[in-house]
Amino acid sequence: MLKTALQPRWIAGLILALVISTVFVLLSEWQFSSAENEGAPPAATTEEVRPLTEVYTPGVPLYATQADQMVSFTGSFEPGDQVLIPNRLQDGEEGYWVVTAFAVDGAPGDEAIPVVRGWTRDPSNAGTAPEGDVEITGRLLPSEAPVAGAQPEGTVAALSSAELANIWDVPLYSAFVTAHETVPADQQSTASELERVITGPQPQEKTINWLNIFYAVEWFVFAGFAVFLWWRLLADSYQRSLEEDDDYDDEYDDGPGGEPHGPTTSEVKK
C-alpha cells in the first residue's frame, strides 16, 4: 500500500486533503473563540474617569465594551424634563429614581442624556435640578427597554432613552448616567433630600454560546473526514490493484505437470 501511496497523484491528493483540513481546523478555532461572549470590561479600565464625548457617540447602541465606564461631562440640567422611575431599591428599601435631562456640552447634535440625580422613598421629595452650569461624574449605563402599561403622571416604568426622547421631545443619548458627583460651576452646593445612586462595576462574567461550540466541533469533524476520505480512496485503489494482479495470475496459472502455460496458439493468432 505504501508503494501506491507514493505515487504522485496520491501524494498530491494528500497535500490537498491536509490543506482542506487546515482550513477546517482554523474555522473550528474561530468558532471556539466566538463561543465565549465578551462580558463587561475590567474594572481597571472602567474606573478611570473619562470624558463622555470621547467614550460614547450619540445615536448608536451602547456596547458592552463601552458600558459601565465612569465618565465626566459638563452642561446644564433641563429642570422641566424630569421623571420618576418607581420600584428602585436602595439599601433594601423600595423607592424612586429621580431622572432629569442634561444638555451635554460638546455633544455632536446638542443631545441630552438622562441623569439619575438620586433616589428617594417619597416622590414629593424629588425636588428640582440645580440651575446653571454643572459638572457630572458618574457611571455610563445602557438604556433599559420600555415597559408597557399606564403610569401616574410624571412617572415611567423603565429608564428607556427612546421613551424619554418622546416624552421630553429632545434628542437623547441611547444610555443614561447615575450621578455619583454633581458639582455646580460656582462650587456652591445645593441642598437636596435625594440619596445618591452609587453603582459599582459589573461582575466579570462571560457566557458560552453553545451553537458556536457545535459548529466548532462540526468543523473539526470535517477536518478529520478530509484526511479519512483520502485514505479511503487510497485503500480502494490499492485493493483494485491487488484484484487486477490476481486476475492476471489466473490467466497464467500452472497447467498439467506443474509447468506454467501461456496462451494457446489459437489465442496467440487471435
Annotated domain spans of the chain: 1-37+206-245, 43-204
Q: What's the pLDDT score for residue 171?
A: 95
Listed ranges 12-16, 65-69, 78-82, 220-224; the one with the highest mean pLDDT: 78-82
For the segment 113-124, the average pLDDT, to the nearest whole number, is 95
Sequence-separated (6 or more) residues with CB below 8 Å from residue 69: 41, 45, 46, 50, 55, 56, 139, 140
Q: What is the CA radius of gyration of the chain?
A: 37
Q: Using an 8 Å Cβ cutoff, are 158 and 145 in contact?
A: yes
CB count, 10 Å around CB of 135? 15
Rounded to whole angstroms, what are the CA distances from 254 to 181, 249, 257, 262, 263?
106, 10, 8, 9, 12
Residue 269 binned pLDDT confidence (cut-offs 50, 70, 90): very low
| Lowest mean pLDDT across 33-37, 177-181, 219-223 | 33-37
Measured distance CA(192)–CA(128) in Å, rounded: 9
pLDDT at residue number 208: 67
Q: 92, 216, 82: which is closest to 155 by C-alpha?
A: 82
- When comparing pLDDT for 133 and 262, which is higher? 133
Residue 264: Cβ within 10 Å count: 9
DSSP H helices in 135-209: 161-168
**Residue 250's pLDDT band (cuts 50, 70, 90):** low
| Single-letter amino acid code for the residue at 15 | I
Is the pLDDT score of 270 beyond 50? no
Place 76 in a pLDDT band, splitting at 50, 70 and 90: very high
> Rounded distance, CA 146 to CA 70, Å?
24
Mean pLDDT, residues 109-117: 95
- Work out the widest C-alpha separation in the chain, in whole angstroms: 126
Percent of the chain with pLDDT over 90: 41
User: Of the ranges 218-227, 237-246, 259-268, which one carries the lowest mean pLDDT score?
Assistant: 259-268
- Counting every residue written for the chain, the total comes to 270
Cross-strand bridge partners of residue 155: 84
pLDDT value at residue 6:
73
Take residue 186 and report the three cell numbers written for it.
Answer: 460656582
pLDDT band per the 50, 70, 90 thresholds, residue 35: low
Better-scored residue on pLDDT, 201 or 247: 201
Q: What is the mean pLDDT of the chain?
A: 82
* Residue-level pLDDT at 41: 54
- How far is Cα 241 from Cα 180, in angstroms, rounded to an integer? 82
Give the global pTM: 0.62
Contact in structure between 68 and 141 (CB atoms under 8 Å): yes
Confidence check: pLDDT of 264 > 60? no
Between helix 8-35 and helix 210-251 the angle, nearest 10°, is: 170
Phi, psi values for residue 260, rounded to 5°: -65, 145
